[in-house]
Amino acid sequence: MRSAAYEIAVFPGDGTGPEVVREGEKVLGALAEGGPSPWRLTRFPGGGQYFLATGREWEPEAAEAARRADAILLGAVGWPGATLPNGDIAGRALVLGLREGLDLYANVRPCKLYPGVKHRISGEYRSVWAPDRVDLVIVRENTEDLYTPARGRLTRGGETEVAIDTRIITRKGAERVIRRAFQIAAARARGAPEDGVHRVTCIDKSNVMEGCRFFRETFDRVAAEFPSIERDYAYVDAFAQWLVRNPEHYDVVVATNMMGDIVTDLAAVLQGGMGFAAGANVGDAHGMFEPVHGSAPKYAGKNQVNPYATFFAIEQMLRWLGARHRDERLVRQADRLERALAATLADGGSGTYDQGGTATTSDAGDRVAAAVRGEPR
Ligand code: IPM
Ligand code: MN
């Protein structure tokens, strides 16, 4: 616990990023009313659009601020045509660059379905999964696997002959993300919706791949430190099916980077779509929090996208800061925000286009800010 305000570096980024971040700032403002603000937000430009305008992804002081900040809030990066000379997306520095540079080795993506949220499937809005059956957390490794910059092309006579990406699984990388998954499972109030059992499921393809066999061996070794938590295993292909069919079986799930990237988007369907999916990129010393949906260029400037993913990212950020600094005030603010989110969702959902509604991004932000004000501090 400390008296100085927490420094939060805010990177609105590209496309719809600034629109959802603006609503996030609104909600943080509402939470801070009635006392000295527990946090101070500083915005920094950067991303693909910034690159097109300036030739730089961001400024050196922004990179420095990210390193010094107590937490980072990121909107989204990526813009059509914004590509670095080496072919990477411009804005990479803000996402993949910070994951690597600040060693944010765990990507924690909760997947919880709140009452009042619908799923869009086959173009229709339905309630397929019962809200009390979807409450899991996917923990994705965030620094290695196919994302390791061990890749390249063999070009002969100006023609690409071969393109290679190398899948790297390290002992350190696997061990720490698996341990983080077990710690998260140990801290969860309830286990899996199906049976209340605290369980960690290891997602891999160890029937084929060596890196996955090593990941699973590491899983077993780390699991021994947590005898009260059930170990569970699934090949990633089967998991894709079971996740949709029996989401209630899952409590905490741990996966390597690329498989985790894919299954978290699939899981987002269960929680109402990408408009609700938030991710925490956390290491031992730094944390970056983001909505997972990306910059959605098609919707940019329309004040139309769902800002709830950003609100859930902020909830995670406050919880993480509160735990890290043993600051009960922040945990209480996170609880207060979650109650406001749950209450507004129960009362008509997000109302935004992705849920079949006509509410704008700022309407949704106004409603949540008002609900926050009505919640006891
Ligand atoms: C995510 C995104 C990123 C990733 C992209 C934007 C590089 O899809 O956070 O899931 O692949 O990790
Ligand atoms: Mn992704």
CA of 338 to the centre of ligand 1 (A): 25
CA of 118 to the centre of ligand 1 (A): 24
Nearest protein Cα to ligand 1, atom 12:
261
- CA separation, residue 141 to residues 181, 229, 269 (Å): 10, 20, 21
Atom of ligand 1 nearest to the CA of 77: 6
pLDDT digits (tens, 9 = 90+) for 333-375: 999 999 999 999 999 999 999 999 999 999 999 999 999 999 8
CA of 261 to the centre of ligand 1 (A): 7
Would you say 243 and 263 are in contact if contact means Cβ atoms under 8 Å apart? Answer: yes
CA of 289 to the centre of ligand 2 (A): 14
Mean pLDDT score, 228-247: 98
Atom of ligand 1 nearest to the CA of 96: 7
Q: For residue 13, is it left (φ>0), alpha (ψ between -120 and 50) or beta?
A: left
Q: What are the two backbone dihedrals, phi and then psi, of residue 246, each rounded to the nearest 5 degrees?
A: -130, 60
In this prediction, residue 127 carries a pLDDT of 85
Q: What ligand has the least distance to the C-alpha of 78? A: 1
Q: Is pLDDT at 2 greater than 90 in this prediction?
A: no
Q: For residues 82-106, b (16+ Cβ closer than 10 Å) or e, as one string?
A: bbeeeeebbbbbbbbbbbbebebbb
Q: Which of 95, 148, 263, 310 to mutate to test the pocket of ligand 1 (most atoms within 8 A of CB)?
A: 95
For residue 297, count other CB atoms closer than 10 A to its CB.
17
pLDDT digits (tens, 9 = 90+) for 318-327: 999 999 999 9
**Structure confidence at residue 126 as a pLDDT band (50, 70, 90):** confident
pLDDT digits (tens, 9 = 90+) for 34-84: 999 999 999 999 999 999 999 999 999 999 999 999 999 999 999 999 999
pLDDT digits (tens, 9 = 90+) for 249-302: 999 999 999 999 999 999 999 999 999 999 999 999 999 999 999 999 999 999
Determine whether the shortest distance from the Cβ of 96 to ligand 1 is under 6 A: yes
Q: How much is the pTM?
A: 0.97
Mean pLDDT score, 194-219: 98
pLDDT digits (tens, 9 = 90+) for 157-171: 999 999 999 999 999
Mean pLDDT score, 74-96: 97
**Structure confidence at residue 1 as a pLDDT band (50, 70, 90):** low
Determine whether the shortest distance from the Cβ of 200 to ligand 1 is under 6 A: no
Would you say 39 and 32 are in contact if contact means Cβ atoms under 8 Å apart? Answer: yes
In this prediction, residue 124 carries a pLDDT of 87
Give the integer Cα–Cα distance in Å for 288 and 69: 10
Determine whether the shortest distance from the Cβ of 296 to ligand 1 is under 6 A: no
